[in-house]
């Protein structure tokens, strides 16, 4: 039991690190590099775009290698590779070097989702809750990217925000390898047996329903990725613009507080902004636990529709808001943005055959992270020409698209081991 829990814990830490590494630059660019390198925020986003393309494109070969070779072996490659890449990126001296470092980080970051999620959905029952718990760890990685980076900017320099997590990831990689070494050796023969046992026959009605569900999964994956990237990547900059009054007030308050004065030094507004982003991300991640429990009880359609409605309401409210009210509404739309994360993974886990599951997750994340990469130029273009208010209206429109697509999902999903009931 302890070994099993350790296995799941290490997979969760991997998800935490995956999202942390991919978003360190978001806070660095928003708070310091635009001054240090004299490049506008919109211009800096161009150097992050190739990394997010790599995050998507390399998901498919990562899933293929995991199914053909070893899922646990690929997880070891993930921990060691992304750690070394992050350390190297911390020594960047030019925007071009930073862009190259982010690209290599994206290559190794691409391993986690098709491989780690395939392990979670194949090994344990209660898929919804397992994916939700794993997703919370990923969201905490998003949150800690803003928190750690904001703190390091004020106290150690932005380079340490890349270097220290890189060293930690390498350490976790050694622990993971020692725990799973025997399984890595045995996994190759098991993967071959799974692949040879797959049957391809299915009835026309089953095939039609599977195509319908797959189309909805990939459409909502693409649109949800626009929402996720826009909120997680841009939130530090949004808070930097809209919560300055609140941040200055809180920074002054911490100077007179015995506990917080030891953490935040005088004038540490960047740390306060990072801390506020962390709190929003961390609290909003709880939505995944609620969603995971509801998925196991009610299925994906009603849950996904509820999440889309939450997004629509709070994105529509955000334009023009500042300080405390903006912070409260940000909590609302992040609940919706994070709550949607496990739903498509749940549907793939229920419908995909085990022998091909990592590859199917790979295709899902090629779509997802390619859209993430394309969203960065969208954020830059909208921000430069109209500001964040227009971005919020675009995200509200994206929520409408999700709501319409999810409305035609069947109440029960097609599964690889049984013919489904008639769709409703």
Q: How far is CA 223 from CA 200, 369, 386, 405, 421, in A?
A: 30, 11, 21, 10, 28
> pLDDT digit string (tens) for 282-310?
888 888 888 888 887 888 889 999 999 99
Whether the pLDDT of residue 259 is over 80: the answer is no
> pLDDT digit string (tens) for 224-237?
989 988 888 888 88
| Predicted pLDDT of residue 213 | 81
pLDDT, the chain, mean: 82
Whether the pLDDT of residue 215 is over 50: the answer is yes
Whether the pLDDT of residue 255 is over 90: the answer is no
Report CA Rg, the chain: 21
HSE value, Cβ hemisphere, 13 Å, CA-based, for 97:
10
Stretch 104-125: mean pLDDT: 85
More confident residue, 414 or 83: 83
Residue 347: which of 311, 287, 284, 301 has the closest Cα?
301
Whether the pLDDT of residue 188 is over 70: the answer is no
Stretch 40-64: mean pLDDT: 83
- Assess contact for 233 and 23: CB atoms under 8 A: yes
Q: How many residues does the chain have?
A: 424
Please, what's the b/e burial string for 358-379 (b: 16 or more CB within 10 A of its CB; e: otherwise)?
Answer: bbbbbbbbbbbbbbbbbbbebb
3-state DSSP call for residue 418? Answer: strand
| Predicted pLDDT of residue 415 | 66
| Predicted pLDDT of residue 424 | 41
| Predicted pLDDT of residue 203 | 63
Residues 6+ apart with CB under 8 A from 298: none
More confident residue, 256 or 290: 290
Query: Which of 148-162, 208-222, 329-343, 349-363 shows the lowest per-residue confidence on average (mean pLDDT)?
Result: 349-363
Stretch 173-178: mean pLDDT: 93
Residue 89: which of 184, 169, 198 has the closest Cα?
169
Residues 6+ apart with CB under 8 A from 120: 8, 11, 127, 130, 131, 134
Helices within 125-203 (DSSP H only): 127-155, 159-196
- Assess contact for 3 and 161: CB atoms under 8 A: no
> pLDDT digit string (tens) for 6-34?
899 999 999 999 999 988 888 888 778 87
Whether the pLDDT of residue 35 is over 90: the answer is no
Whether the pLDDT of residue 143 is over 70: the answer is yes
pLDDT band at 124, cuts 50/70/90? low
Query: Which of 139-153, 188-202, 306-320 shows the lowest per-residue confidence on average (mean pLDDT)?
Result: 188-202
Whether the pLDDT of residue 51 is over 80: the answer is yes
Residues of the chain with pLDDT > 90: what percent? 26
CA-angle at 158, arms to 43 and 101, nearest 5°: 60
Q: How far is CA 247 from CA 214, 234, 252, 281, in A?
A: 44, 17, 9, 17
> pLDDT digit string (tens) for 376-409?
888 888 988 998 999 999 999 999 999 999 988 8
| Predicted pLDDT of residue 52 | 81
CATH 1.20.1250.20 is held by the domain 2-189+203-406: yes
- Assess contact for 145 and 23: CB atoms under 8 A: yes
For the chain, what are the domain ranges? 2-189+203-406
Whether the pLDDT of residue 117 is over 80: the answer is yes
Stretch 215-228: mean pLDDT: 89
Q: How far is CA 198 from CA 85, 276, 354, in A?
A: 37, 49, 9
3-state DSSP call for residue 415? Answer: strand
Stretch 145-164: mean pLDDT: 83
Stretch 162-177: mean pLDDT: 94
């Amino acid at each position: 039991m302890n070994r099993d829990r350790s296995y799941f814990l290490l997979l969760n830490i991997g998800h935490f690190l995956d999202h942390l590494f991919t978003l360190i630059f978001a806070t660095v660019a928003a708070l310091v590099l635009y001054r240090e390198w004299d490049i506008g925020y919109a211009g800096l986003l161009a150097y992050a775009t190739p990394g997010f393309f790599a995050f998507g494109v390399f998901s498919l070969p990562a899933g293929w290698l995991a199914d053909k070779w070893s899922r646990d072996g690929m997880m070891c490659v993930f921990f060691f590779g992304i750690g070394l890449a992050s350390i190297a990126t911390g020594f960047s001296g030019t925007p071009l070097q930073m862009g190259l470092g982010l690209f290599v980080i994206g290559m190794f970051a691409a391993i986690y989702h098709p491989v780690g999620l395939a392990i979670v959905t194949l090994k344990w029952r209660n898929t919804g809750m397992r994916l939700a718990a794993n997703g919370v760890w990923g969201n905490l990685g998003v949150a800690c990217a803003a928190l750690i980076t904001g703190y390091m900017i004020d106290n150690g320099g932005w380079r340490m925000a890349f270097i220290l997590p890189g060293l930690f990831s390498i350490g976790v990689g050694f622990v993971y390898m020692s725990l799973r070494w025997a399984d890595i050796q045995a996994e190759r023969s098991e993967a071959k047996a799974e692949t040879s046992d797959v049957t391809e026959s299915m009835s026309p009605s089953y095939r039609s329903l599977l195509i319908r569900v797959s189309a909805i999964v990939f459409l909502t994956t693409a649109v949800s990725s626009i929402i996720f990237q826009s909120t997680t990547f841009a939130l530090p900059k949004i808070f930097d613009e809209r919560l300055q009054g609140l941040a200055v007030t809180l920074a002054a308050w911490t100077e007179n507080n015995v506990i917080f004065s030891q953490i935040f030094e005088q004038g540490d507004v960047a740390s306060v902004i990072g801390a506020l982003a962390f709190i929003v991300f961390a609290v909003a991640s709880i939505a995944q636990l609620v969603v995971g429990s509801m998925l196991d009880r009610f299925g994906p359609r009603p849950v996904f529709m509820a999440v889309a409605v939450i997004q629509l309401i709070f994105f529509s409210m955000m334009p023009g808001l500042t300080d405390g009210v903006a912070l409260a509404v940000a909590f609302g739309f992040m609940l919706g943005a994070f709550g949607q994360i496990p739903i498509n993974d749940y549907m793939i886990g229920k419908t995909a055959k085990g022998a091909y599951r990592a590859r199917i997750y790979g295709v899902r994340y090629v779509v997802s992270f390619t859209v993430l990469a394309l969203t960065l130029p969208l954020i830059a273009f909208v921000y430069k020409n109209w500001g964040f208010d227009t971005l919020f209206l675009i995200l509200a429109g994206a929520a409408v698209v999700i709501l319409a697509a999810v409305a035609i999902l069947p109440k029960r999903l097609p599964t690889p081991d049984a013919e489904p009931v008639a769709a409703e």
